[in-house]
């Protein structure tokens, strides 16, 4: 567990829940459930909107309008196995993933919900650790977790813990980001090493005798994207490359914009450990999941400016230009290989690794 997350766990003397594990009473709607919610979630997420324990969170429209002129709303569910892995856990994933889904449309993420489905028998301390991780990332991302829900199911009806987070943000007035906006001449940029999350999960499952020091890249990207938009409000396309990896995102851009995207294999930022694991297992790192990586398509005259601000940010120090958009209506992604040839980089079919997030 991350040390910073452990610091925010309540001292035992202040805990309302004395049970070591979650039981069905904790999902019954009665006192046991309220004690669990207040002990684990309300005390950890620690904001007045959640502390009111209403069935909804209410916000002033004037406060929302201060950030922009359009509302962004997203939701995602997290079922990762294992719950804890190098570089993060299901809680860091849940907050980072939802924050990033808001940020890539040019929104300022503001509020999240948190709904949990808990398998009977889960250790309460595991739930506390996950909640602490969620709050740590929420504080880093500048968002508040303001409402939620708790359900408990019988043993065998779930796998320990599933989390759903929904998020609300407000889109800046000066941006219009869409997968349909790529234009010939645009530059394709990523913010760092690709495939780290997928490789970290693979190693954490210990299904193969591989040893590599790889941590998940899981992190919120809101502040990085805000800096990029300050430098270039005209960013054309922007998306976080989660399941399906960078290859799937670029295929979505190419098909939506009716263009060809040409990548340069030599320019792809990949750790040697990730490349080695992929070679052994027959995987393509372009399809590996990421949880802290974005793909941006920007006008050519703004590319160096955007790269400079990205490299000045902790989440973008290894940012790189990896290709260009070319004219054409075939919707293809083409890789220029290190051997001088080229190959089609198609949309991912199926799943390389299940339950990756």
pLDDT tens digits, one per residue of 266-296: 999 999 999 988 888 888 999 999 999 999 9
Point out the least confidently predicted range of 14-18, 24-28, 198-202, 230-234. Answer: 14-18
- Same domain for 114 and 9, yes or no, is yes
| Domain shared by 60 and 205, yes or no | no
The token pair at 123 is: 């250790």
**Where residue 351 falls among pLDDT bands split at 50, 70, 90?**
low
Tell whether 36 and 153 lie within a shared domain. Answer: yes
Do 99 and 198 have their domain in common? Answer: no
Per-residue confidence (pLDDT) for residue 205, from 0 to 100: 86
Helix (H, G, I), strand (E, B) or coil at 180: coil
Q: Write out the residue range of the structural domain in which residue 72 sits.
A: 3-171
Could you tell me which of 194, 192, 199 has the C-alpha nearest to residue 353? Answer: 199
**Confidence category of residue 8, pLDDT binned at 50, 70, 90:** very low
Under the banding of pLDDT at 50, 70 and 90, the label for residue 349 is confident
**pLDDT score at 92:** 98
Domain containing 297 — which CATH number?
A: 3.90.650.10
For all residues of the chain together, what is the average pLDDT?
A: 93
Tell me, what's the pLDDT at 282? 87
Counting the structural domains of the chain, the total is: 2
pLDDT tens by residue, 81-139 = 999 999 999 999 999 999 999 999 999 999 999 999 999 999 999 999 999 999 999 99
294-298 β-sheet, strand order: 237-240, 294-298, 187-190, 320-326, 260-264, 333-336, 342-344
Is-contact 315 246, C-beta < 8 A?
A: no
For 288-323, the pLDDT digits (tens) are 999 999 999 999 999 999 999 999 999 999 999 999
The residue to which tokens 């974005």 are assigned: 294
The number of C-alpha atoms within 13 Å of 55 and in the hemisphere containing its C-beta is 1
Do 239 and 304 lie in a common domain? Answer: yes
pLDDT of residue 6: 42
Give the Cβ contact number of residue 45 at 10 Å.
23
């Amino acid at each position: 567990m991350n040390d910073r997350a452990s610091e925010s766990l309540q001292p035992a003397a202040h805990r309302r829940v004395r049970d070591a594990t979650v039981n069905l009473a904790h999902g019954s709607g009665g006192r046991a459930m309220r004690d669990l919610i207040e002990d684990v979630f309300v005390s950890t997420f620690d904001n007045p909107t959640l502390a009111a324990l209403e069935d909804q969170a209410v916000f002033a429209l004037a406060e929302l309008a201060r950030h922009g002129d359009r509302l962004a709303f997203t939701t995602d569910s997290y079922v990762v196995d294992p719950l804890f892995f190098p570089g993060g856990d299901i809680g860091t994933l849940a907050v980072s993933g939802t924050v990033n889904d808001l940020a890539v449309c040019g929104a300022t993420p503001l509020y999240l919900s948190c709904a949990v489905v808990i398998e009977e028998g889960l250790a309460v301390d595991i739930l506390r650790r996950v909640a602490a991780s969620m709050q740590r990332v929420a504080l880093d991302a500048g968002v508040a977790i303001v409402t939620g829900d708790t359900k408990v199911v019988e043993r065998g009806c779930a796998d320990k813990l599933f989390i759903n987070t929904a998020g609300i943000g407000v889109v800046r007035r000066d941006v219009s980001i869409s997968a349909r906006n790529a234009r010939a001449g645009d530059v394709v940029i990523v913010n760092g090493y690709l495939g780290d999350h997928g490789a970290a999960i693979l190693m954490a499952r210990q299904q193969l005798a591989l040893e590599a020091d790889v941590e998940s890249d899981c992190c919120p990207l809101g502040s990085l994207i805000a800096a990029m938009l300050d430098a270039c409000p005209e960013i054309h396309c922007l998306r976080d490359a989660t399941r399906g990896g960078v290859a799937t995102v670029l295929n979505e851009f190419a098909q939506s914009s009716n263009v060809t995207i040409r990548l340069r294999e030599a320019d792809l930022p990949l750790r040697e450990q990730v490349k080695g694991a992929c070679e052994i297992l027959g995987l393509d790192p372009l399809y590996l999941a990421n949880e802290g990586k974005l793909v941006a398509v920007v006008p050519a005259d703004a590319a160096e400016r955007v790269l400079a601000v990205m490299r000045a940010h902790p989440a973008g120090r290894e940012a790189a230009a990896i290709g260009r958009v070319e004219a054409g209506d075939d919707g293809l992604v083409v890789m220029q290989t290190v051997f001088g040839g080229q190959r089609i980089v198609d949309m991912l079919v199926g799943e390389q690794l299940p339950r990756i997030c």
